[in-house]
Amino acid sequence: MEVPILKQGEFLIATIQAALSDADLEHLRLALVQRVVRFRSRAVIVDVTAMDVMDSFASRTLREIALMIRLRGAETVIVGIQPEVAFAMVQLGLTLEGVGTALDLEEGLAYLNQKFKNIN
């Protein structure tokens, strides 16, 4: 399933809408990096509000997305992790270390805007 990726000025916003298969996640990783390159984006927000489960593969893929995007000089922020999901993740030791996080899309944008002092 294709994850919609929207361009918002210098940012990209990917909204995950349902449970993704491993193949979908890999596809997302590729699509995001390609777009960061094409649009010279400065940051990517991945909205996982609709994910009610986060397994180790998904967690690792998100980290890899962040690392790859950082190699292009861009920032990644994961937003919308649900309390129950967060709890389950830390119990499994999946901490998304090194990846930015924010409560939701609004907070994520505020964080990035603050960081880059952009008007978007």
Give the binding site for other proteins (CB under 8 A): 78-79, 81-87, 89-91, 95-96, 101-103, 107-108, 111
Identify which of residues 31 and 105 has a Cβ nearer to other proteins in the complex.
105
- CB of 76 within 8 A of CB of 99? yes
Identify which of residues 40 and 60 has a Cβ nearer to other proteins in the complex.
60
What minimum distance in Å lies between the beta carbon of 8 and other proteins? 19
Six-digit token string for 31: 């699509």
Identify which of residues 28 and 96 has a Cβ nearer to other proteins in the complex.
96
What minimum distance in Å lies between the beta carbon of 34 and other proteins? 27
> 118: buried, middle or exposed (CB in 10 Å: 19+, 13-18, 0-12)?
middle
Identify which of residues 15 and 27 has a Cβ nearer to other proteins in the complex.
15
Helix (H) or strand (E) holding 47: strand 43-47
What minimum distance in Å lies between the beta carbon of 101 and other proteins? 5
The region that residue 73 occupies, defined by phi over 0 for left and psi between -120 and 50 for alpha, beta otherwise, is: left
